[in-house]
Chain A
Amino acid sequence: MLDSVSEILRLQSAGEASAVEIASAALDRIETADGTINAFTHLNRELTLAAAADVDRRRSAGETLGPLAGVPVAVKDVLCTHDMPTTCSSKMLHNFHPPYDSGVVEKLRAADAVIVGKTNMDEFAMGASTENSAFGVTKNPWDTTRIPGGSSGGAAACVAASMVPISLGTDTGGSIRQPAAMCGVTGLKPTYGRVSRYGLIAFASSLDQVGPIGWSVQDIAPLMETIAGHDKRDSTSLNLDVGSYVDAIKGTDLTGIKIGMLRESMEAEGVDPTIKEAVKEAAKVFEKAGAELIDINLPHSEYWVPTYYVIAPSEASSNLSRYDGAHYGHRAADIETGAELGPLVTTYCRSRDEGFGAEVKRRIMLGTYALSEGYADDYYNKALKVRRLIKSDFDAAFSQVDLLLGPVTPTAAFPLGSKVDDPIQMYLCDLFTTGANLAGIPALSLPAGKDADGLPIAIQLQAPALEESRLLFAGSVFQLVTDHHTDRPNTERPDTTKGVQS
């Protein structure tokens, strides 16, 4: 199977397949499937094959290779790459070629991973459906009439469609976990500061975090181990040792682990009963593995979404100021000299009007308003205070339990176009995910079955800051006992023998 990291590593070390053959198989699969799915914004066959050939050459020269040698990886198009454009799926950056690699991309290259391309997303990571992309929607491999989730929709869909085994997404309010849930794959949002944000094009700096997506915990653990760690170029990066996540997931016994069942999530309205059921089923699995279940409430969870939708747009309104048509990105043409606001301001206004999509503009306006003199105390500053209360809720909860269990999304993937005209409904997709971002804690989305329409649903585990090991361990135990993560969408299957020596 080309969708397992360990299998890809084994094939190469056993001499059964070369990195070039594996990369070619991935590229062929993308060529076949991506016409429908549209997971990628940029592919470069030549670069990909050259990187793979380099791995093969060094392997045959007897060199020591990195932990992801020859493993094809897709990277969300919000992470800077020096050899590929980085667009944020925005017209504003359609021609932006960063002169540098992001911290995580550097680490991928150092681990000898083969970067196959950049994945589609909601513009500037703002959205929950990948419908806000300037390069077309990405479709859910389980049902191509439905959204893949967002904003890392391309990164989740390319794994779900077996184009690549693993990918990197980013999560500001659920953008890794929600698409992972909807695409039936596993996704981790790490602790804020655990992974470098250097070269991650900012949406909301205090919430953004890069994380791995793959079929299983087994697959994302080595990717997480690769990207985690201090980067002195990011002042918010934590200068702490990172243990081995690959080692952390060995074992089957959860004895001594206390898992909190999130009462608010289970009692929330508008949540698909099959999802609530899946959470309960999962709880039984954990209990059986030795964990103790405790009811927990997070009193301020009803304020997660409103708090998030003040803080994130506020930061975004500032972070996106630089796209003004003067330095890079889209610039409006033919500004007449007699323009009413003068040529400079007219260039700003028109470039931003033409370059940004509707959702981005909406959030810039929300954030600008929330930070304005006279309103900042009622919105931004108040949201900061509530954020502290939300964080205190988690601190209190984690003084009683080791992990929190609940749903990722209220529903499975919804039909394309069904919520695009209703931003509030779209924002409510983040009902269960924004808490982890506001508190800066790690959270894991695990496939947990299917809803009534046969669409993937998922559970979420959350852990205290820096406890990724515990989180991944519990997730791994869950996947040892269950087989939800081994389900594949009923699309044309990749020919796993293609390019592989028989």
Chain B
Amino acid sequence: MSDGYPTKTVIGLEVHVQLKTQTKLFCGCSTEFGAEPNTQVCPVCLGLPGALPVMNEAAIDLSVKAGLAIDCSIPPMTKWDRKQYFYPDLPKGYQISQFDLPICADGFIEIDDPASPGQIRKLGIIRAHLEEDAGKSMHDEAAGKGDTKIDLNRCGTPLLEIVSQPDMRSSDEAKAYLNELKLRMTHLGISDCEMQEGSLRVDANVNLHIDVDGKNVATPIVEVKNMNSFRAVERAIQYEIDRQYDIWEETGKTIKDEAKTTRGWDDESGKTFLQREKEESADYRYFPDPDLLPIRLPRDRVESIRASLGEMPAQIRQRLQGQYGIKPYDADVIVNQGVAMITYFETAATKSDDGKRTSSFIQQDVMRLMNERSISIEDYPVAAESLGDLLGRVAKGELDNGRARDVLAHMIDKGVSVDDAIKDLGIESVDNNEIEDLCRELLAANPAVVQDYKDGKKQAVGSLIGQAKKKNANANPQVVRQTLIQLIEQE
């Protein structure tokens, strides 16, 4: 494809975010994930004849919060509509959704341009509307039986469907958009955004605009579904970009020749596969749900939610840079980890009074262990205060980074305090006279190094630092280096 015509990729994402309410959108049933099938149901979410929906106000507040977090406008009035289709996991034969007056409209998300870091890309959001989730169909196709089991626990769970403009130009941008969206939703407690549990679902609409000698040719739009991680979204989009170009080269088919098709993503083979040949222009026969009243959203309600938003991730990134002297990249890494990590960092950095060192320890040592053990920062074995305490001692020169790593490892292994770990490892601060003696001894034994240094090979002293550490493990390499140089230059 890289040898072919210049191509612009056009990507729009539809993201379903499950709102973190205690109860469902129109009844009092629990939204807890993982219960026995069909145990979190009642006449309302089962769609029993005669049962009626009653709106969950908490879902409205969370939706407004979500909308404000992605710079949407919130209309003074919104309403519920019925979207009608037959499916076994949709017990009423219609889904209560929002058609022409969504609760949030016309927003955007800014990302750091993956193609040119430091540049901002503004990605539009068309709308976000609230709707109830359907149940879950579990197809048991073993032995050609074709049985389907229905679990209605999820039925009626509040979902916010966030529809982007087709503004993304690469899979990297799509991923950055999703990361930022997830960050804001989790940061504000709007959603858990766990793709594995289905609390965040992504459909990607992808096509290519190919520049054929100055003429723009668009390939048919494909909607990709069934992706269960951001990585999968990225791979699926990349796969589609290549596939669509190849197919276009082969058949010449453009958007005018073929209606939108739906393809599934197979993570194992790394390929998309055809699900629905032609998107039948489904007629959902939307109409206002007569069982529910329109929702009025007075300005003061919206403004009080806006006031409760607090600091948004972008602001936190700025603040961390200023307050702790860390680089934009480092602030980004920490903030992207979510609220718990931000709190962990701030606590540790305040205690250590060394933001840079704290940031680098967190990104290297702490996050490495989190990855190895697949744990979140909440489950990391060393408390933020203790890490800060340890790094504060490094900052004061009581021990070096290397020894600090040993101490941290010991604290994790034995579950002991900083003091006990230092004691267990026999670490004590070495006074400068002792270091000086050690350095004199080493210089005397290594005249070649001294000569090399004098000849301009300043890095030659490095070999002596290693020897110093062997003779006294507590010797601070920085101090050793300085002392060695000082002694040579005094000669």
Contact = CB atoms under 8 A, between A and B. Distances in A.
Interface stretch (B122-130, B188-196, B290-298, B414-422): B290-298
Interface in A343-387: 343-345, 348, 368, 371-373, 376, 380
A232 B91 CA distance: 23
A318 B93 contact: yes
Contacts of A202: 49-50, 291
Contacts of B53: 235
B49 A232 contact: no
Interface string B257-282: 00000000000000000000000010
Interface stretch (A96-104, A109-117, A449-457): A96-104
Contacts of A321: 84, 86, 92-94
B49 A318 contact: no
Contacts of A233: 52, 54
A46 to B, nearest CB: 24
B50 A235 contact: no
A378 B17 CA distance: 36
B49 A98 contact: yes
Contact of B146 (A88, A93, A236, A343): A343
A463 to B, nearest CB: 23
B302 to A, nearest CB: 22
A344 B139 CA distance: 13
A321 B48 CA distance: 12
Residue in A98, A206, A234, A318 with the greatest tally of chain B CB atoms within 10 Å: A318
A99 B48 contact: yes
A197 interface: yes
B55 interface: yes
B285 A376 contact: yes
- Most chain A CB within 10 A, of B48, B82, B84, is at B48
B54 A324 contact: no
A373 B43 contact: no
A199 B94 contact: no
B88 A326 contact: yes
Contacts of A373: 281, 283, 285
A201 B84 contact: no
Nearest to B92: A322
A318 B291 contact: no
A327 B38 CA distance: 13
Interface string A325-339: 011100000000100
A234 B93 CA distance: 20
B54 A315 contact: no
Contacts of B93: 318, 320-324
A99 B49 contact: no
A95 to B, nearest CB: 12
A86 to B, nearest CB: 7
Given A80-B49, A321-B86, A100 B293 contact: no
Nearest to B88: A326
Nearest to B285: A371
Contacts of A408: none
B47 A322 contact: yes
Given A372-B283, A376-B285, A380-B287, A318 B51 contact: no
Contacts of A232: 54
Interface string B76-113: 00000010101010011110000000000000000000
Is the contact region of chain B dominated by helix, strand, or loop, or is it mixed? loop
Given A205-B290, A205-B291, A372-B283, A199 B82 contact: no
A318 B86 contact: no
A476 interface: no
B284 to A, nearest CB: 8
B56 to A, nearest CB: 11
Given A321-B84, A371-B285, A315 B290 contact: yes
A401 B334 CA distance: 71
A314 interface: yes
A197 B281 CA distance: 35
Interface in A188-242: 197-202, 204-206, 232-236
B280 to A, nearest CB: 12
Nearest to A342: B146
A235 B292 contact: yes
A372 B290 CA distance: 17
A315 B281 CA distance: 22
A323 B43 CA distance: 15
B151 to A, nearest CB: 13
Nearest to A373: B283
Interface residues of B, number: 29
A348 B85 CA distance: 12
Contacts of B55: 235
A102 B50 CA distance: 8
Given A318-B93, A348-B86, A86 B49 contact: yes
Contacts of A327: 46-47, 91
Nearest to B282: A373
Contacts of B49: 80, 86, 88, 93, 96, 98, 201-202, 322, 328
Nearest to B93: A321
Interface string B20-36: 00000000000000000
Given A236-B293, A318-B93, A348-B86, A199 B285 contact: no
Contacts of B52: 197-198, 233-235
B285 to A, nearest CB: 4
Interface in A64-114: 79-80, 86, 88, 93, 96, 98-100, 102
B293 A235 contact: yes
A213 to B, nearest CB: 20
Given A198-B50, A235-B292, A318 B285 contact: yes
A98 B49 CA distance: 8
Nearest to B283: A373
Contact of B54 (A99, A235, A368, A376): A235
Given A198-B52, A235-B293, A324 B86 contact: yes
B201 to A, nearest CB: 23
B276 to A, nearest CB: 14
Contacts of A88: 49
A314 to B, nearest CB: 7
Contacts of A204: 290
Contacts of A96: 49
Interface string B50-78: 11111100000000000000000000000
A200 B291 CA distance: 12
Interface in B276-322: 281, 283, 285-287, 290-293
Contact of A201 (B50, B91, B283, B292): B50
Interface in B140-192: 146
Closest 4 CB pairs of A and B: A321-B93, A206-B290, A205-B290, A371-B285
Given A86-B49, A235-B52, A324-B86, 9 more contacts: A80-B49, A80-B50, A202-B49, A205-B291, A318-B287, A321-B94, A337-B146, A371-B286, A373-B285
Interface of B: 43, 46-55, 82, 84, 86, 88, 91-94, 146, 281, 283, 285-287, 290-293
29 contacts: A80-B49, A93-B49, A98-B43, A98-B49, A99-B48, A198-B51, A202-B50, A233-B54, A234-B54, A235-B53, A235-B54, A235-B55, A235-B292, A236-B293, A317-B285, A318-B287, A320-B93, A321-B84, A321-B86, A322-B49, A326-B88, A327-B46, A327-B47, A337-B146, A344-B88, A371-B84, A372-B285, A373-B281, A376-B287
